[in-house]
Amino acid sequence: MVGSWWEIPYERYLSDALMLSAVEQARLAAALDCLPAEIIDAHTHVARSIDVVALSPSALTHVISTYPCYTLEDGRRARERLWPGKRVRALRMAYPIEGYRHRDINEYLVANANLYEDIVGGYGIPDDINYTLQLIDSGHIHALKMYYRYREPGVDRILDIFPAPILQQAQGCGIPIILHLPRPLPQCLDELIAVLDSFPQLTVVLAHLGGPGGQRFDPIIVPAYERLARYSRVYMDTAFVLDADLIANALQLFGHERILFGTDEPLSLIRGVNYLHPIHGHRLYAPEYHWSQDDAPPTEMRRATPTLLHIQQVEAVLTALRSFSCDAVNAVFYRNAAQLFGLAPHGTV
């Protein structure tokens, strides 16, 4: 247990994450061989130490606090280690929870992301609509992220996350929104469809395949996917999704043209074992981190060797795509995001 964010040994976590075992190196090399030369990671986060005000006690016990700081330079470091031989760009967004100077992170990204060949996902401020409208209209951002836990306690309605004037402006400017739903998709579905009907030209990217991240496939999601798939401007990203079956169902119902590869970096730089606890549900066995709790995982979990989640995520997407063509792999890992965010290939203007 830590009492404040600066007690978190995040620099050690990062150094350890980038020291791959021989098994991890082999798995990563095998995955990279299946991927296109250019990659776009459509969901990553950034914050400097000067951007942190304070993290709440609940945040400090949550996986989200693993890396309270993660700079563009840290992202370059990870890229060199984890994507050798690939040209990678990332949509970088501010850490979304309460406790950060989100405006300052937006300014940092606008000024510096291009130096790292990355692009900016602007972070909207729900209680400053004018600022957010100006951000959308600035020409500096490729997408807009807003989050239901911007303030604690969090909100549970989509229009409390993205107020209507902001959705109207995003629609008019052609800026996709990155939407992390405040409740499970089946519970939010009617409200989400009402939003889509009210803003028919709005492009929505559902983060984490419409879930909280780390979730596994549950048949209850299928009817929700079927209803949403009718809306051609709804996309989903695979950030922090480790279950190939869930990704495969999304691909089957939405088609490979509307799924974007994402990692939720730096949370992808955690080593763990994802499993279904018989009492507590979805859990990540990752005993080396400050937020880890002993939930009495099954013996086989304690005996398992934690693996870098980055590798697990890439493998899960590739496994889900195994019955698809090489073109589909290129679409999910590169082309869909390039088209959605209006990016030209490297080396072109």
Do the domain assignments include residue 74?
Answer: yes
Beta-carbon contacts of 206 under 8 Å, excluding residues fewer than 6 positions away, are 179, 181, 185, 228, 234, 235, 236, 237
Do the domain assignments include residue 57?
Answer: yes
Do the domain assignments include residue 348?
Answer: no
Residue 347 has pLDDT above 60, yes or no: no
Do the domain assignments include residue 108?
Answer: yes
- Mean pLDDT score, 243-269: 98
Alpha-carbon span 180 to 204, nearest angstrom? 10
**Structure-token pair, residue 138:** 């600035």
User: Residue for token digits 């080593």?
Assistant: 271
Do the domain assignments include residue 333?
Answer: yes
Alpha-carbon span 162 to 129, nearest angstrom? 10
Do the domain assignments include residue 83?
Answer: yes
pLDDT digits (tens, 9 = 90+) for 257-285: 999 999 999 999 999 988 776 666 677 88
Maximum Cα–Cα distance across the chain: 55
Domain count, the chain: 1
Note the pTM of the prediction, 2 decimals: 0.96
pLDDT digits (tens, 9 = 90+) for 164-222: 999 999 999 999 999 999 999 999 999 999 999 999 999 999 999 999 999 999 999 99
Which pLDDT score is estimated for 293?
79
Q: Return phi, psi of residue 140, to 5°.
A: -100, -10
State the CATH number of the domain containing residue 120: 3.20.20.140
Do the domain assignments include residue 273?
Answer: yes
Task: Grade residue 52 by pLDDT with cuts at 50, 70 and 90.
Answer: very high
Spatial strand order of the sheet with 271-277 comes to 281-285, 271-277, 307-308
Which pLDDT score is estimated for 1?
77
Where in the sequence is the domain holding 217, given as residue range(s)? 5-340
Element (H, E) at 202: none
Do the domain assignments include residue 149?
Answer: yes
